[in-house]
Amino acid sequence: MGKGVAITGMGIISAIGNNVDENREALFAGKTGIGRVVKINTNHKNEIMVGEIAYTNSQLESLLQLPETNNYSRTALLGAVAAKEAVESARISDINEYKTGLISATSVGGMDMTEKYYYEYLEDKTVQKYIEAHHAGDSTQKIAEQLGLKNSLVTTISTACSSAANAIMLGARLIKSGKLDRVIVGGADCLSKFTINGFKSLMILSDTYNTPFDENRKGLNLGEAAAFLVLESDAVVKAENKNVLAYLKGYGNANDAFHQTASSENGDGATLAMQQALKVANLNAEAIDYVNAHGTATGNNDLSEGKAFLRVFNTMPPFSSTKPFTGHTLAAAGGIEAVFSVLALLHNVLYPNLNYKTPMTAFNLVPELELKEIPITNILSNSLGFGGNCSTLIFSKQA
């Protein structure tokens, strides 16, 4: 059994770009995708800011060459676009040649279509097809069909904002155990009125650009996105002479069971997840060159995650949150951060923590403020979910 879990392909669609290249260009240029609500008819459109993807559903359907009779939710559309880019970038000609799986994460599933036609379902038979697309697993199944997967392990993970990170983690474990040779992992979530209203009720949405780790942070900006990685075993990499983008070296998951939506005040879950990831990677905390923080810009998250950093690192490495670029993409967040982490490794860059002005009084931690080039070997990335489900991934240039 090989020791490495290689990343050989990746795909992404977010508010700052419709593919990997466009996302990289926006990150390097410091270009945010946050703005006012355009595509959703919500009562809160003038009260909040979000990260919307430019493509309409019709444009996404055209990209995927779907018939007009399709019942794809926006989540499924976004997921299929990103997953197909990941497979193409991995130069996979026969998706079923090896023991292959798909693990996709989502939180809202097909909610966007359910809420759109909710009052018409009983009277209009033409929209009843979207009832079947409501559940979380439907988007995963449609992604699998778009990829042409047959007789494969196909499953869905929904653990709130840590979902995609947990999907990536499960994929790595299946490869290490020898149960799979190759697995496409990541997540997708679209914006919906359900999501906006839910987070609005929690009073954690900002009416302006989000400001992670700033003393005067006002809350998060929701975003929609999809991102996937292709993970492959050492054996496949060797047999196919694959180009390896990076390695998934460590991973950890912990649940502090502190509150339904809030993180522990002292960052218990995040601390345990980071410590476990370092243990799996066989690395000391000092080996981490950059931390891609969860950094949602809520009062609770940034305080909790910051305290966890102080418990794990004797000397805090450079860190920043990329949520000001894309918004908080919920179940897709771990996939988005994974792609961003691999890009940081490939180009040896630290991303700027946009909109930051005032240091937090709770601790002396200041994020990166400008794009910076430094030698990077190991990146730690956090995804902290509701219910206390905390996940950490470590990406490396070395197996």
**Of 240, 268, 286, which closes a domain?**
240
**Residue 246 resides in a domain:** no
**Residue 365 resides in a domain:** yes
Structure tokens at 134: 């409501």
3 state SS of 294: coil
| CB-side neighbour CA atoms (13 Å) of 352 | 16
Domain containing residue 21 = 5-240
Asked if residue 170 and residue 259 are part of one domain, the reply reads no
pLDDT for the residue numbered 3: 67
Asked if residue 319 and residue 208 are part of one domain, the reply reads no
Structure tokens at 275: 């410590």
* Domain at 318, CATH number: 3.40.47.10
**Residue 245 resides in a domain:** no
pLDDT for the residue numbered 279: 98
3 state SS of 168: helix
Q: Which of 134, 190, 294, 390 is catalytic?
A: 294
Please, which residues bridge with residue 253 across strands? 391
Mean pLDDT in consecutive groups of 10 residues from the start of the chain, 399 residues: 82 98 98 97 95 97 97 98 98 96 97 95 93 95 98 96 97 97 98 96 96 98 98 97 98 89 88 98 98 97 97 98 98 98 98 98 97 98 91 97
* Beta-carbon contacts of residue 141 (< 8 Å; ≥ 6 apart): 154
pLDDT for the residue numbered 1: 39
H helices of 148-254, where?
A: 163-176, 193-201, 234-240
Q: Which of 44, 135, 190, 328 is catalytic?
A: 328
Asked if residue 236 and residue 260 are part of one domain, the reply reads no
Q: Is 294 assigned a catalytic role?
A: yes
Closest CA to 370 of 326, 328, 320, 336: 320
Structure tokens at 178: 């020898």
**Residue 360 resides in a domain:** yes
Q: Which of 44, 134, 135, 161 is catalytic?
A: 161
**Residue 279 resides in a domain:** yes
Asked if residue 388 and residue 316 are part of one domain, the reply reads yes
Residue indicated by tokens 């990289």:
24
Closest CA to 273 of 296, 300, 251: 251
Asked if residue 381 and residue 310 are part of one domain, the reply reads yes
Domain total for the chain? Answer: 2
Asked if residue 149 and residue 23 are part of one domain, the reply reads yes
H helices of 1-73, where?
A: 20-29, 57-63
pLDDT for the residue numbered 237: 97
Using alpha carbons only, give the angle 273, 275, 279 rounded to the nearest 5 degrees: 115
Count of Cβ atoms closer than 10 Å to residue 33 Cβ: 22
Asked if residue 231 and residue 145 are part of one domain, the reply reads yes
State phi, psi for 339 to the nearest 5 degrees.
-65, -45
CA dihedral 297, 300, 305, 306 (to 10 degrees): 80
User: For residues 155 and 241, what is the distance between their CA atoms, to the nearest angstrom?
Assistant: 28
Asked if residue 389 and residue 310 are part of one domain, the reply reads yes
**Of 218, 240, 262, which closes a domain?**
240
pLDDT for the residue numbered 264: 84
Asked if residue 302 and residue 389 are part of one domain, the reply reads yes
Residue indicated by tokens 């923080």:
293
Q: Is 190 assigned a catalytic role?
A: no
CB 231 within 8 A of CB 86: no
**Of 207, 240, 273, which closes a domain?**
240
| CB-side neighbour CA atoms (13 Å) of 305 | 28
Asked if residue 300 and residue 225 are part of one domain, the reply reads no
Q: Is 328 assigned a catalytic role?
A: yes
State phi, psi for 238 to the nearest 5 degrees.
-70, -45
pLDDT for the residue numbered 261: 78
User: For residues 163 and 130, what is the distance between their CA atoms, to the nearest angstrom?
Assistant: 24
Asked if residue 257 and residue 212 are part of one domain, the reply reads no
Asked if residue 208 and residue 305 are part of one domain, the reply reads no
Please, which residues bridge with residue 324 across strands? none
